[in-house]
Structure 1
Amino acid sequence: MSKPFDMELFLAGVPTGSHATRQRHVRQARIIQADIAKRWQLKTPWAWQRKHVVWFLGHRLDRRSDATRYYYLLTVRLLARRLEKSWVFNL
C-alpha cells in the first residue's frame, strides 16, 4: 500500500514569504495536483510535463479573475523551480 503524495513536504523550503503565502501556495498546488491527477491520472508532479500545467492554466482558470490566475502562475513557477524545470509560462 502506497502513501498519498504529500504536496506540503514536496514544496517544503521552496516558497518564501509569510506563513499565509506559503499556505496559499500549498493549497493551490494541491488543487493543481488534483485536477491533473483527475484528467491524466498522474499522481505526482514528477510525472507532469509542461503541457499538463499549461492545460491547467488555460482550461481550469479560464473564467477566473486576473488576480487568481496570477497567483496560480506564481505557484506553478514554484513547482517548476522545485522540479528543476526551465518551464516558462505566459498568461
Structure 2
Amino acid sequence: MTKAFDMEVFLAAALTGSHATRQRHLRQAKMIQAAIVQRWQCESPWRWKRKHLAWFLKHSLKHRGEGTRYYYLLTVRLITRRLDTSWVFDL
C-alpha cells in the first residue's frame, strides 16, 4: 500500500502570504496534482517534468477566465521554485 503524496508538506517551505493565499495555493496545487496524476500517473512533483505543468496550464485551463489562469500560473511558479528549477511559463 502506498501513501498519497502530501502536497501541503511539499509546499510548506515555499508558502508565504496571508492564510487565504496559502490555502488558495494548496487547493490549486492539489488540483494540478490530480490532473497530472489522471493524465500521466505521475503523483510526486519530484517526478514531474516541465511538459506536465505546461500541459496543465495550456489544456486544463483553456476554458477558464484570465484571472483564474493567472492565479494558477502563480501556483505553478511556486511549485517550480520549490523544485528548484529554472522553468519559465507563459499564459
TM over 0.5: yes
Structural RMSD (CA) = 0.6
Tell me the CA shift for residue 19 of structure 1. Answer: 0.3
Q: What per-residue deviation string (whole Å, max 9, x for no partner) do you get for residues 36-83 of structure 1?
A: 000000011011000010000000000100000000000000000000
Aligned pairs for 1:42-81 within 5 A: 42-81=42-81
CA distance in 1, matches of 2:46, 2:80: 10
Q: Partner amino acid for 1:70?
A: Y
Structure 2 gaps of 5+ residues are: none
Structure 1 stretches of 4+ moved >2 Å: none
Q: Partner amino acid for 2:10?
A: F
Tell me the CA shift for residue 15 of structure 1. Answer: 1.6
Q: Partner amino acid for 1:33?
A: Q
| TM-score, reference length from structure 1 | 0.97
| TM-score, reference length from structure 2 | 0.97
Q: Among the aligned pairs, what percent are the same residue?
A: 66
CA distance in 2, matches of 1:36, 1:3: 17
Aligned length in residues: 91
